[in-house]
Structure 1
Amino acid sequence: MDFERRTEEPGGIINPKDSIDTRLIYAFASALNFTFEIREEPERTWGLEINGSFTGMIGQLQREETDFCTIAGPSPERLKVVEYLRGYPSDLMTVTSLKPSLLPQHLSLIRPFEGELWLALMVSVVAWGGVMWILQRTWRWFAGGRRVDFSTTLLYGWGALLEQPPPVLSVSNSGRLLVGWWLVFCLVITTGFRSSLVAHMTVQGKTLPIETFEDMVKQDNWKWCTEPWLLKGMLFDYFSKHTDPVVQKLYKHMEMLVADEALERVLEGGFTLVDFENYVNIIVASRYTDARGYNPFYVSKKGVSVMAAFGWGMRRGAPFYPRFKQLKSRLEDTGIISYWIEDVIARRVRENRAAAAMDVRSAKTDTTQDDNKVPLGLHHMQGAFYLLFLGYVVALLILFGETISHNSDPRISTTFLTTNKT
C-alpha cells in the first residue's frame, strides 16, 4: 500500500494511492456511511512483540490508539491482542536473480553426457580392458600363443568406442564373445551420444534458474539480500526463529538493500533479491522491461508462503468488525477482489512506466540470448579443437616417455653394441 505524505512530519495524514486496501476502505465507507482518516505509522513498522507488548501498528491497536490497520499478516501472538479480518491471499516470498545464461560453447562436445555417465564410461573402458587382458593371459597360459599387453586391450576397447577398433581380434572364443558384447555396448553409447550432440548443437542449453532458497544457498560465492522494511514484522520472526538449516543460513548472511539497489546488484551477477512476488514483478515490469516485454530478471516460480493471508488488524471490541467481515465475504464471493488484484497491478505498472518514461535501464538486454537458428561456426565447435590439441600434447608426452625409457634400457643398448661388432 503506497501513499503520498501531506506533511513531512512522521505519523501525519497521508493520501493513499490506488491499491486493494484503498479500494476496500472506500467500498466499506460507501456501504456503511462512515468517514475516516489514514495516518502513517511513525516508525513505519508492523510491530514486534517485546514482553507481551507490541511496537508499531500492532502496538497502536493493542493500546487502542487507532481503530484498524491495513495489510498485516496474522500470527498467534498478534491474534491475542487484536482482531483480524482476512483480506486476500498473501504474496509469496520469491528469489529474483538474472535469467539463465547460455552454457559455455567450448563444452558443447562433452555436454551430451552427464559427469557421472562420463566417469562410468571411463571406468567401463578400463574394466573391459582389464578383463580382456586377464582372459588372454589365461588362454596363453593354457594353450600358448602370442603375448598381449594390457595397453593393447585398453586401446582396443577405446578404439571400439570411437568406432575405430583394431583389425586383430582375439584368438580365443571367450575373448571373441567379450569383444562382441563390447561392440554392442559401444553401438548403444555412440548412438546416444550422437543424437544428444545433435540436439545440443541445434538448441544451445542454458544454466538452471534459481527457484528455491536451497538452490540459492548452494551456489558458490553467492550473496543475497532483502529490503529493510520487510524485517520489521512477521518476516523477522519467520527468518530468525525458523529451524530449517537453509533458512537459518539465509538469514545469517542476509544483506539489507532497497529494491532498486538490490536489482542493480542482481544485474552484476552472483546476487539475489528475496522479496514478495507481486511487489518485485511490478518494479521489474515498470523499470526494467522493454517494449518487447523482455527483462533480464528471473523471478522464481516456486515461492514460499510465509504467512496465511494479508488482511486488516482491528482493536479489540471494535463495533464495526462484524459488518466489515460481512462485506468482505460478499466481495470475495463475487470475485471482485481477485479482479481488483490483477487490475491494480496492471494499472500501477502503467502509471510507473508513464511517470518514468521508460527508464534507460530497460535497455539492458542480453542480445546473445537469441533463439534464432544460426549455422555452426568455429566458436560452436571450439571444444573439439581443444580436445584435438589436448590429444597432441598427451601423445607428445608419451613419445618423450617412450624415448627416455628406450634409451635407459640396458638390454637394448647391449644388443645394439653386439650387432655392431658382428
Structure 2
Amino acid sequence: KPPWLFVNYNNISNGNSTDSITNRTIEVIGGRDDRILKLLAKKLNFRFNYFDPPERIQGTSDSESGFFSGVIGLISRREADLYIGDVGLTYERFNFVEFSFITLADSGAFVTHAPSQLNEALALLRPFQWQVWPAIGITVLIVGPIFYLLIALPNLWQPRFKVRSYTRLFFDCTWFTVTILLKQTGKEPNSNNKTRFFIILLSFSATYVISDMYSANLTSLLARPGREKAVHNLYQLEEAIISRGYKLYIEKHSSSHSLLENGTGIYSRLYNLMVLGQGYNNSLVNSVEQGVELVKDSENVVLMAGRETLFFDIQRFGPSNFHLSEKLNTAYSAIALQLGCPYIEEINKILMAIFEAGIITKMTENEYEKLGKEKTISSSEIAENVAKDTNKDLKRQIKVDEGTKLKPISLKMLQGAFYLLCFGNIFSGLILIGEFMFHKRLRKRNKRRHVVITKKWKKIVKIKISRIRSMYLRFYRNAMNDAFVSTLEYLE
C-alpha cells in the first residue's frame, strides 16, 4: 500500500494457472513503513522477511468461531511476528493482538469526482439566482408607493396642483421608478425638491449599487468560470446520495468499513443508503486504488477511506480529477504484534522518539516528494504515452487539460447576453400581444357600451316625444271639449 510500502509482485508460472497465483513472491522496493522497519531492525538487531498473506486482508472477526481472519488472525495464532502497515486500532483487534505506539494519526475522509465547470454561455445569467429576486421585487414594490406618498401627501395638506386621478398618479409613480431601476428615461410625475432628491438617490442606487455589484460578479465569473457545488461533509453526502444518485464505496475489511457498519447517526444512515441502493457486495472494493479509479471514471462515485491514503492515490491519478472532503474522524494506526511480545517496550521507545521528533512525518513527506518526481515526465514521454493510450483515455486526458489550462475569454461566454436579449424580446412580445388583446377587448366593450347608450337615448327621446304628443293631444281635446260645452249653453 503506497506510500507505506512499495511492492512488486513476481509470479512464478509452471504451466498451471492456479499455481501461478499461489507461487507468487513479493519484492518490497521502498516505502515509509519499510524504512521504519529497517530502523527498528537496526536498533534492536533482528532480521525480517516479508511475505504476502493468502487472503491479503487485515482481518475480520468471525462471530461463530471467535477467531480473526487475515493478517490479524495469523499474528494471533503466532504464525507471523508482526504486521506493519495502515492497520487501524480498534477495540475488537486489541483482544487478539497487541499494538505498539502509533505510527500514523490519520483522519477519515471521502473523495468525489472534481466538480465540472458550469455552462459558460449562462455566465451572464448566473448572478440572477433566486436569492436576488426577493430583494429586487421588494425594492420595486416599495419605491413606487414611497414616491407616490412624497407627491400626494404634501399636495393634500397644501394643494399646489390639481390631481385628476390619484389612481393614475400612483400608476405613473410606480412606472417611473421601474424605468429608473431599468436605467431608462421617463417623464417625472412631479418636479419639486423632494421628488428630485428621491429620483437622484434612486438613480445612484440603481447605477452604482445594483449594476456595479452585477458587473463585479460577472467579472469574477468570466475570469474564473464557476463549477458545480462540491460535497464537503457527511450531511451533504447524504443529500447527494438521495437527490443526485451518488454511489458510496468503501474498502473491504477497512476501518471505514467497520465505522459505517457499526456506527450510529449519520454513519448508520449512510450505511443503510449504501446497502439499499447498491447492495452490500456491490459497494465494497478490494483496495483504495481500485476505488479511486472508479471515482476518476465516474462523476457520481464516492469513496470513503483514510485521508492520507486518499491523498496519495489522488496524487497518483491527477489531483485535478478529484475533490477531497473535510476531515471526518481521527483514526490511529500502529504495528500489530503478538500478545505478550517481550520487546514491545523497546519498539515503543523508538517509535515515540521518532514520532515526537517529526521523523515519521518527514518520512511520509519524502515519499510524497518521490512520487511527485516520478510523476513528472517530459513532453516527449507524454506524447508517447498518449499515442499508446486508448481512445477513452485520450478523451479523458484532453478533458482534464481543457479544465486545468488557462484560456482566453471566448465569444461563447457572451452568449448569455444574447440569451437574455432573446428572453427579453419574447417577454416584451408577449406583453405587447397581451396589450393588443386587452385594448381590442376594451374597444369592443366601449363600442358595445356606446351602442347600448345610443339605443337607450333613442328610447328616452321616443318616450319624451310620445309624452309630449300625448300631452298636446290631451290639451287640444280639452280645449275642443270646452268650446263645445260653451256653444251648447249659448244655444240653450
TM interval, shorter chain, is 0.7 to 0.9
In 1, Cα distance between equivalents of 2:413 and 2:25: 62
1:391 to 407, 411, 424: 424
Using structure 2 for the length normalisation, give the TM-score.
0.69
In 1, Cα distance between equivalents of 2:306 and 2:339: 29
* 1:84 correspondence with 2:119: no
Q: Does 46-55 or 323-332 show the bigger shift?
A: 46-55
1:121 to 136, 146, 169: 136
3-state SS in 2 of match to 1:44: coil
For 1:38-77, what aligned pairs fall within 5 Å after superposition? Answer: 38-51=50-63, 53-71=67-85, 72-77=87-92
Going from structure 1 to structure 2, the CA distance change for 1:313 and 1:164 (only over 3 Å counts) comes to same
Q: Give the alignment's Cα RMSD to 1 decimal.
A: 4.0
CA contact (8 A) 2:109 2:327 kept: yes
3-state SS in 2 of match to 1:408: helix
For 1:329-408, what aligned pairs fall within 5 Å after superposition? Answer: 329-347=352-370, 360=389, 361=393, 363-369=397-403, 372=406, 374=408, 377=411, 379-408=412-441
* 1:256 correspondence with 2:284: yes
CA contact (8 A) 1:128 1:157 kept: yes
3-state SS in 1 of match to 2:118: coil
Structure 1 residue 386 displacement after superposition: 1.6
Aligned AA for 2:253?
A: K
* 1:168 correspondence with 2:188: yes
CA contact (8 A) 1:47 1:54 kept: yes
In 1, Cα distance between equivalents of 2:42 and 2:36: 10
Identity %: 18
1:157 to 150, 153, 177: 177
In 2, Cα distance between equivalents of 1:192 and 1:408: 43
In 1, Cα distance between equivalents of 2:260 and 2:37: 31
Structure 2, unaligned runs of 5 or more: 13-19, 456-492
CA contact (8 A) 1:12 1:39 kept: no
In 2, Cα distance between equivalents of 1:189 and 1:348: 50
Deviations 1:161-194 (A, max 9, x none): 1222412234788766765554453243233223
Counterpart in the other structure of 1:298:
322
In 1, Cα distance between equivalents of 2:114 and 2:94: 40
CA contact (8 A) 2:320 2:404 kept: no
Counterpart in the other structure of 1:19:
31
CA contact (8 A) 2:235 2:266 kept: no
2:261 to 240, 244, 255: 240
Deviations 1:87-127 (A, max 9, x none): 42244433333434333223322334653123211232133
In 1, Cα distance between equivalents of 2:349 and 2:254: 27
In 1, Cα distance between equivalents of 2:402 and 2:360: 41
Going from structure 1 to structure 2, the CA distance change for 1:47 and 1:370 (only over 3 Å counts) comes to closer
CA contact (8 A) 1:61 1:314 kept: yes
Kindly indicate which of the two structures has a greater share of residues assigned to helix: 2
CA contact (8 A) 1:64 1:315 kept: yes
Deviations 1:222-248 (A, max 9, x none): 423435xx2314222211222232663
Counterpart in the other structure of 1:269:
299
Aligned AA for 2:304?
A: V
3-state SS in 2 of match to 1:16: strand
Aligned AA for 2:163?
A: G
Counterpart in the other structure of 1:33:
45
Q: Does 334-343 or 407-416 show the bigger shift?
A: 407-416
In 2, Cα distance between equivalents of 1:300 and 1:73: 21
Using structure 1 for the length normalisation, give the TM-score.
0.79
3-state SS in 1 of match to 2:131: helix
3-state SS in 2 of match to 1:96: strand
CA contact (8 A) 2:122 2:413 kept: no
Deviations 1:176-226 (A, max 9, x none): 676555445324323322343344334433344433333433334242343
Structure 1 residue 317 displacement after superposition: 0.9
CA contact (8 A) 2:291 2:303 kept: no
In 2, Cα distance between equivalents of 1:263 and 1:305: 24
Structure 1 residue 403 displacement after superposition: 2.3
In 1, Cα distance between equivalents of 2:270 and 2:219: 41
In 1, Cα distance between equivalents of 2:197 and 2:376: 72
Aligned AA for 1:256?
A: L
3-state SS in 1 of match to 2:413: coil
Going from structure 1 to structure 2, the CA distance change for 1:162 and 1:321 (only over 3 Å counts) comes to same
Q: Does 393-402 or 131-140 show the bigger shift?
A: 131-140
* 1:204 correspondence with 2:225: yes
Going from structure 1 to structure 2, the CA distance change for 1:155 and 1:88 (only over 3 Å counts) comes to farther
Structure 1 residue 325 displacement after superposition: 1.5
3-state SS in 2 of match to 1:311: strand
CA contact (8 A) 1:29 1:35 kept: yes
Structure 1, unaligned runs of 5 or more: 290-294
Q: Does 182-191 or 322-331 show the bigger shift?
A: 182-191
In 2, Cα distance between equivalents of 1:247 and 1:353: 42
In 1, Cα distance between equivalents of 2:325 and 2:425: 47
In 2, Cα distance between equivalents of 1:274 and 1:233: 10
1:319 to 338, 342, 357: 342
* 1:191 correspondence with 2:225: no
Aligned AA for 1:163?
A: K
In 1, Cα distance between equivalents of 2:173 and 2:400: 50
In 2, Cα distance between equivalents of 1:40 and 1:393: 70
Aligned length: 411
Going from structure 1 to structure 2, the CA distance change for 1:155 and 1:381 (only over 3 Å counts) comes to farther
Deviations 1:304-345 (A, max 9, x none): 3441x2211112111121222222233334543223212333
Going from structure 1 to structure 2, the CA distance change for 1:305 and 1:178 (only over 3 Å counts) comes to same
Deviations 1:251-280 (A, max 9, x none): 632733453475355344333333444434
In 2, Cα distance between equivalents of 1:243 and 1:319: 38
Aligned AA for 1:249?
A: L
Counterpart in the other structure of 1:110:
125
In 2, Cα distance between equivalents of 1:176 and 1:90: 68
